[in-house]
Chain A
Amino acid sequence: MTDDRDVDARLAERIRAGQAQALGELYDRYAGTALAVALRVVADRSEAEDVVHDAFVAVWKKIDRFDARRGSLRAWLLTVVRNRAIDRVRLRRASVDLDDADERSLLRTGPNPTWEDALQRTSAADVRAALAALPDEQRRALELAYFEGYTYREVAEVTGVAAGTAAGRLRLGLAKLRESLAGSAGAPLSTVEAVLSEDIGR
């Protein structure tokens, strides 16, 4: 059975070779998810479509910098979409200057395939259920950070807690989400929780 990542890897090679049709195929695969992410962040359909358009153009232009060993093409694309969307929101809030969101997307593309493996095996509904099952403060922190584009310091300000606590909620929330999706692989959650309880207590 062909893995989505195999299909994406072949698309990446064809895009690298200058085949515009391959980018069209990538669009057909992921435009719906990309638009959903952008729309959730910028809350304006026209602006969200601009973000999606610009993100696919960025993938076209910068494909030679993409390294499939460091993550999937889907993950990179969606990170570009989300970073570009967040930069627009942050610009509105004037909390940061715009810089190259795509550079950060590449840096943060990780070598660990756990999330992608988990997503291959689970549905979007499963992921939503796993997110919904988190304690409210952790889910809220994740949503503020991912969809609203807040930094952990801003999450702390919005939710009225210390910056270390906000960072801890993001860390523990993601660790639990990962454990829900990936089973027992990776660092044991009990270890993470023990460390976090010390961090948050400071």
Chain B
Amino acid sequence: MSQISCEQVDELAGAYALGAVERDEDRSISEHLATCDEPHVEARDLIGAEAALAATAGDVAPSPGLRDRLMTTVAETPQEHRPQAVAAVTPPAAGAEPSRPWWRMQPVALGIAAVVLLLVIGLGAWGLSLNAQLAEREDALRAVANADAAFAVTGSAGSGWVIESGGDAHFVADGLAEPPAGQIYELWLLDAEGKPTAVGTVDDPDSLVVVPLEQDLDNATTFAVTVEQERVEAPTSAPVLVASLEG
């Protein structure tokens, strides 16, 4: 059915809305609705009915392992519009113990040129998001104005920066994902031996996060963020954000 009339589209409006037409009819109706000058009000009104019928199915709790299985698959699956990238930080597979803790693994160094480029891009992004919170803006701008170095932080929870300025360091991020209910983000600095030191927490990320780190970056090679129930002395989960501090 390559051609279809307005009358046929209206007759099949309910079947089309439910995907209950033949393939060639489905394509023909979609093309017709996309190009026809007639409003086809009823046909368009019925589209979306699937959401209502889905609601009548109720709710069934998935098996406990399904979420982990999904997240493992997603971590290995590039998106169509980002074919070279996968999720920046991947959680360990369910039940699989890594051969050594993630914080013992060698960080990937960023080049000086990349750090400088990312700093320029980051300044632009901050300029758009800092208007809302004056005090944090001042902290952030002061850190940026005196920045000696900036390190891009990326991962599944979002992105941000570690800014080093005058011996102090700040973690700055915009639009971080909310941690799971009742949990917090904990910030870590790792030395060359992979030993983690807790340097702060983020309890309630709003649009802009500016956190002074509790330790300078002198002996640190990696910055990381994990999700924890409460502040702890060593990470209990895989990082959701990481940055190499080696340029």
Seen from chain A, the residues whose Cβ lies within 8 Å of a Cβ on chain B are: 14, 16, 18-25, 27-28, 31-33, 35-37, 39-40, 49, 52-53, 56-57, 60-65, 71-72, 74-75, 78-79, 82-83, 86, 96, 99, 104, 107-116, 118-119, 124, 127-128, 131, 142, 145-147, 150-153, 155, 164, 166-175, 177-178, 181, 186-187, 192, 195, 199
Contact = CB atoms under 8 A, between A and B. Distances in A.
Interface residues of B, number: 64
A187 B42 contact: yes
A145 B20 CA distance: 6
A151 B22 contact: yes
Given A112-B48, A192-B42, A36 B59 contact: yes
A62 B18 CA distance: 22
B108 to A, nearest CB: 17
15 contacts: A18-B87, A27-B67, A32-B62, A53-B69, A53-B70, A61-B79, A108-B26, A110-B48, A111-B44, A124-B55, A142-B53, A151-B21, A170-B14, A170-B17, A186-B45
Nearest to B39: A187
B85 interface: yes
A114 B10 CA distance: 18
Given A22-B177, A171-B15, A151 B20 contact: yes
Contact of A72 (B51, B66, B88): B51
A104 B44 CA distance: 16
Given A64-B79, A171-B13, A107 B90 contact: no
Contacts of B55: 33, 119, 124, 127-128
Contact of A52 (B10, B46, B66): B66
Interface string B65-83: 0110111011101111110
Contacts of A166: 15
B224 to A, nearest CB: 15
Given A62-B80, A187-B41, A31 B22 contact: no
Contacts of B86: 18
B3 interface: no
A86 B54 contact: no
Contact of B58 (A19, A71, A99, A124): A124
Given A25-B177, A37-B57, A173 B14 contact: yes
Contacts of A175: 14, 42, 45-46
Nearest to B181: A28
A86 to B, nearest CB: 7
A37 B52 CA distance: 11
B1 to A, nearest CB: 12
